Structures are given as C-alpha cells and as structure tokens.
C-alpha cells in the first residue's frame, strides 16, 4: 500500500506530494508544526497538540488554515488512509505561497497546510528505553522564542547531528547561566537523590512540551514530588536518574550525560515507571 500525504485540501500519494518553491516555509522557515503520537488506534494528547498549534499560529500571526473540527477530521482520515495503528502524524502550517519578500504577504494569501503520517512499531521506543540513551551538552544558540514550535530548526538539526556523530541520542542545550534549557527535540528532566523530579519551568526558554505536561500529571497522581526549576549539566551528572520527553520518545531514560554515567548506567526505576504509567494519563482520541 502506498503512503498518502495531505497537501492543501488534497490526499496525494506521498511520493508525489509537493509544495510550491515560493512557499514561505521553504524560503523563510515561516511556519509552525506539530507531531502527535498514534498508539494502538488512538491519537495521543491531540487536544494539547492542537491547542499549541493554534497558539504558535497566533504568536506568528499566521491565519488558521481550517477549523479545529476540520483539522481533527483530516488527521483521522490521513491516519486511516495510511492504515496506521501506531506511529506519528506530522502537521505543518506555513504563511503560504507568495513572491519572495520578507514582509508578510497579506490576507489574500492562504496559509499552506501539509500532513504526513508514518507507522512506527511501539517496540522500537521500548527497546531503546530498556537500555537508555546518552546525551551531550551544547551551547543554546537559538532565538528567544523557542516556546513557538516553528519549523525554523537549524540549530536543533545541527545539535542533533553533533549528538549522533559522538554516539549520543540527544543534545541538551545549555544557556548563558550554564543551565540546561531542553533537548534539540525533547524536554530535559533529572531526578535528584531524594527522588524529586526536576525540570525547567515552561517559560520562553523551552518548548512547552505536551508530553512534559502529561508527565507532570502522572507525577502528581502518583505523589512523585516535582520542582520546576532549571538545573546545570553538573547537577544532572550527579543525579539519580535523568530522562527526556517528547511525543516521539514518550519518557526515554538517559544513562549518560557527556562523559558521566548516571546512576548505575541502567535506566532509572522512576523514569521507567513514568514511561509505563504515561498512557494511563494521556488523552486518547479514537480513530
């Protein structure tokens, strides 16, 4: 069965799906995106992702491409057309197609919307989580509105590539005060020796992760103490556990930060438990 993509109102074979060369996403990275997990016939935390999509559009003054109800319908259709049981759906909205000019093109130009979906077996993430992953740290060289989920991801791309070249899975960005902001495509967490979850507050320095918000609810429901504050690489290296969160990884234990082994080098028990409990607390929208 061939993959199907959604492009500006049409369902098209993935291999033929394309946008115009003067799409502002292509020329200026003038657009935003979302990634949702699909798990066993459900879309996970759809409301949170669509709320954030609307917020990102609002912050960049890009018009909504369609109503929330229509968006939900297209997502469902696309996942069904691709016969996906577990995997990911990607949504991207840009300011549209217009002759190249930095200035906004005006309301006559409609935003462009693209969606793709892919199957990913849930066993892939679980296998990785059973071993844990390594992270490296790098200076945070991004702009100060990383709370907006824009497709302008060049620093993130370079950081992730650097991580992979050094044998790590993720790169943690570090700010001018030597505090970890977040990963290149994940939020960063540690658990101190007293069993307290520590993660940076969701201000402008990080993306307000939807997975992060669900993990905070899991922690609350299971009486795991949480401190929303920033932490340094050194503190992370002395932590009992560390992990990262994103729709693409859920809770992924971190067993190494730069050269330092975390705990005994195995995924920590609290991170592992949070991963197991995650879907009991996440929103499930039936396909």
Q: Which residues are catalytic?
A: 149
**CA angle, residues 258, 205, 230, in degrees to nearest 5:** 55
Binding mask 188-207 for ligand PDD (x = CB under 6 A): -------------------x
257 alpha-carbon distance from chain centroid: 20
Stretch that binds ligand PDD, among 181-189, 221-229, 232-240, 271-279 (CB under 6 A): 181-189
Residue for token pair 């992370």 = 236
**For residues 160 and 240, which CB has a smaller minimum distance to ligand PDD in the complex?**
160
- Of the candidates 62, 78, 135, 246, which one interacts with ligand PDD according to CB under 6 A? 246
Q: Binding of ligand PDD at residue 29 (CB under 6 A)?
A: no
> Min. distance of Cβ 107 from ligand PDD in angstroms?
29
Interface residue with ligand PDD among 94, 211, 230, 272 (CB under 6 A) is: 211
Q: What is the token pair recorded at 41?
A: 């016939």
Cβ count near 153 (within 10 Å) = 16
Residue of 150, 230, 245, 272 that binds ligand PDD (CB under 6 A): 245
Site for ligand PDD contains 38 (CB under 6 A)? no
The stretch among 53-61, 100-108, 229-237, 241-249 that binds ligand PDD (CB under 6 A) is 241-249
Backbone angles phi, psi at 107, to 5 degrees: -70, -15
**Measured from the CB of residue 48, what is the shortest distance to ligand PDD in angstroms?**
7
d(CA 226, CA 223): 9
CB of 246 to ligand PDD, least distance (A): 4
Q: Which of 186, 199, 230, 272 binds ligand PDD (CB under 6 A)?
A: 186
- Number of chain residues interacting with ligand PDD (CB under 6 A): 15
Ramachandran sector of residue 41 (left: φ over 0; alpha: ψ -120 to 50; beta: rest): left
- Is 276 exposed, middle or buried, given 0-12, 13-18 or 19+ CB atoms closer than 10 A? middle
Cβ–Cβ under 8 Å, residues 245 and 186: yes
Write down the least CB distance from residue 203 to ligand PDD, Å: 13
Minimal distance, residue 37 CB to ligand PDD, in Å: 8
Q: Which residues contact 254 (CB under 8 A, 6 or more apart)?
A: 132, 133, 134, 135, 170, 241, 242, 243, 244, 262, 271
3-state secondary structure of 86: coil
**Which of these segments, 60-68, 182-190, 228-236, 273-281, binds ligand PDD (CB under 6 A)?**
182-190
Convert residues 128-167 into a mask of x (bound to ligand PDD by CB under 6 A) and - (unbound): ----------------------------x-----------
The CA distance from 283 to 15, in Å, is 32
**Binding of residue 187 to ligand PDD (CB under 6 A):** yes
Please select the residue that binds ligand PDD; options are 247, 252, 270, 271, rule is CB under 6 A.
247
Task: Give the single-character DSSP code of 167.
Answer: T
Q: Count how many residues are written for the chain.
A: 287
- In a 3-state reduction of DSSP, which class is residue 36? strand
Q: Which residues bind ligand PDD (CB under 6 A)?
A: 35, 156, 182, 185-187, 207, 209-212, 245-248
């Amino acid at each position: 069965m061939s993959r199907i993509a959604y492009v500006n109102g049409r369902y098209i074979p993935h291999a033929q799906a394309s946008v115009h060369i003067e799409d502002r996403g292509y020329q200026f990275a003038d657009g935003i995106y979302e990634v949702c997990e699909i798990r066993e016939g459900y879309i996970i935390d759809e409301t949170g992702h669509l709320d954030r999509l609307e917020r990102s559009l609002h912050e960049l003054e890009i018009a909504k491409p369609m109503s929330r109800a229509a968006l939900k319908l297209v997502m469902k259709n696309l996942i069904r057309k691709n016969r996906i049981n577990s995997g990911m759906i990607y949504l991207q909205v840009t300011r549209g197609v217009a002759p190249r000019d930095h200035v906004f093109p005006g309301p006559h130009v409609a935003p462009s919307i693209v969606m793709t979906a892919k199957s990913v077996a849930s066993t892939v993430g679980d296998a990785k989580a059973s071993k844990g992953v390594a992270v490296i740290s790098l200076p945070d060289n991004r702009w100060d509105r990383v709370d907006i989920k824009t497709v302008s991801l060049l620093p993130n791309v370079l950081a992730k590539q650097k991580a992979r070249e050094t044998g790590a899975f993720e790169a943690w960005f570090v700010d001018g005060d030597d505090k970890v902001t977040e990963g290149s495509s994940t939020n960063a967490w540690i658990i101190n020796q007293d069993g307290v979850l520590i993660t940076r507050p969701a201000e402008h320095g990080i993306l307000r992760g939807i997975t992060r918000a669900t993990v905070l609810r899991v922690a609350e429901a299971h009486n795991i103490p949480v401190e929303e504050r920033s932490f340094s690489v050194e503190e992370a290296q002395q932590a009992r556990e560390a992990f990262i969160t994103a729709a693409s990884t859920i809770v992924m234990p971190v067993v190494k930060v730069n050269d330092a082994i975390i705990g005994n080098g195995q995924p920590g028990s609290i991170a592992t438990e949070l991963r197991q409990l995650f879907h009991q607390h996440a929103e499930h929208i039936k396909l």
